[in-house]
Chains A and B, each alone.
Chain A
């Protein structure tokens, strides 16, 4: 874990090599590559808010331990799709779904599956950083474990340091872990939220435009963090920023009007899109 935090502390200058490194595996392993472990296997997935259909027949296989970016113009259903991956959309009254959504073969929408368990496995980081205002930095990281019944102090302490290191925040906060989480800067708060999500050891980390409220430096740190997370986690990231998708993802899915228009290797999708709509979007002609 100690080693994981090191690349992140060297901030922005790494940006160029990172772009290259993220493109390399994507170029070698296409979506059809054999022996690839699939995390989410989703087919014919539709979602309605009341009478309005927000997702139409989405069929997609999201690989494990890779970064998958979801891009598309506002209102195209990309956030809805992300929230459906851990059933968080169910908080909105009047939603319903059809189709199937499996994580490592298990139907997340089966009757006997508790949403609480789904969300333990599939964590989420939000657009706006949202540390719990009444909790300290340390408590914010550990709240998920504590409320899930972990009380072993040594384990909690160890997990606290591990997660803050993974989130590249340890060096900045280790001397004042008891300060309120809200005392941190915006970028630090977002990394705190990532540490908080990692603490419960989810299998998948969903990120809903995690950098859209951050400045470029803080964004660079988060993107770098995403690269280190890829070793252990499946990451699905929604982003408005196409450069960000190109920089830090292995796969990219383009959503438009609630439909999955194109999905493939990030490099292919950006350099040589098959669909004219994708081409128009990634070249900046609309959206």
Chain B
């Protein structure tokens, strides 16, 4: 059989190979550029911050200006407290909203809800801070841990809502049909079959949202405010890692700069830990997928 007359010439094939190689190198370069900042961040934090991390850093309060040592124990506990409060607000509302979107909402209302959630996801975090400032700080005449927790929690709602919706939609319709065909009431089908099937995805979404708000500084500036001491009352200002880092980083003291680096390293470690558990969970999820 004669070769097709549409075959490319040898020269043309060489030119194609050259182009292919050039583009591959270009894409590879882009990948390196994308990865580089992550390594730079980790490198600088380790170089600058590792030396300031010791046992005291995790157990002691900040020392007054001029005194050596001290730590960020209050800020670490404060951050965890704020995250817990944010989760109490953001997780149930986000999950319930996601269930509504995936299981109940009509097409028209869902479009609006998704649009609203996406807009909320794009609202700059400082705006959340200002809104909560007007909502909770001004009327109660005090900065407070509650206000900080509410600011972070409000930020979590649209994040959790959209990821919950997405994983619920991934649950095959056939499970819902099978459960309904057993004469199981719809809400039980959703709680026991659908949510359970999507549980790992939902937990992953919640963790991602937590990791996202854990590093937020702006919404805490006029809400939680920060605190150099232990917080004994959630109606009063509370310390948080990002706030403490900010305060120390803009200070004129070398000691505090080192502490700021160390705080940033701990914060990054916390977020990395959350992300690693997300990866662990999502790897577990795959074999169970139908």
Contacts and interface: CB of A to CB of B under 8 A. Distances in A.
A147 interface: yes
Nearest to A199: B182
Contacts, number: 86
A139 to B, nearest CB: 10
B179 to A, nearest CB: 7
Contact of B180 (A119, A202, A206): A119
A126 B288 contact: no
Given A133-B290, A134-B196, A147-B192, A126 B178 contact: yes
A178 to B, nearest CB: 16
A120 interface: yes
Nearest to B181: A124
A148 B193 contact: no
A124 B176 CA distance: 12
A69 B182 CA distance: 22
Contacts of A196: 178, 182
A77 interface: no
B175 interface: yes
B259 interface: no
Given A116-B185, A147-B184, A130 B196 contact: no
B100 to A, nearest CB: 16
Contacts of B182: 119-120, 123, 143-144, 147-148, 196-197, 199-200
Interface residues of A, number: 32
A163 B29 CA distance: 61
B188 interface: yes
B183 A193 contact: no
- Taking residues whose C-beta sits less than 8 angstroms from the other chain, chain B's interface range is 20 to 34
Interface string A158-193: 000000000000000000000010100000000001
A147 B188 contact: yes
B186 interface: yes
B124 interface: no
B201 to A, nearest CB: 12
Given A133-B197, A147-B192, A91 B176 contact: yes
Interface in A209-253: none
A182 B181 contact: no
A247 to B, nearest CB: 25
Contact of B174 (A116, A123, A128): A128
B284 interface: no
Interface of A: 86, 88, 91, 93, 115-121, 123-124, 126, 128, 130, 132-134, 143-144, 147-148, 180, 182, 193, 196-197, 199-200, 202, 206
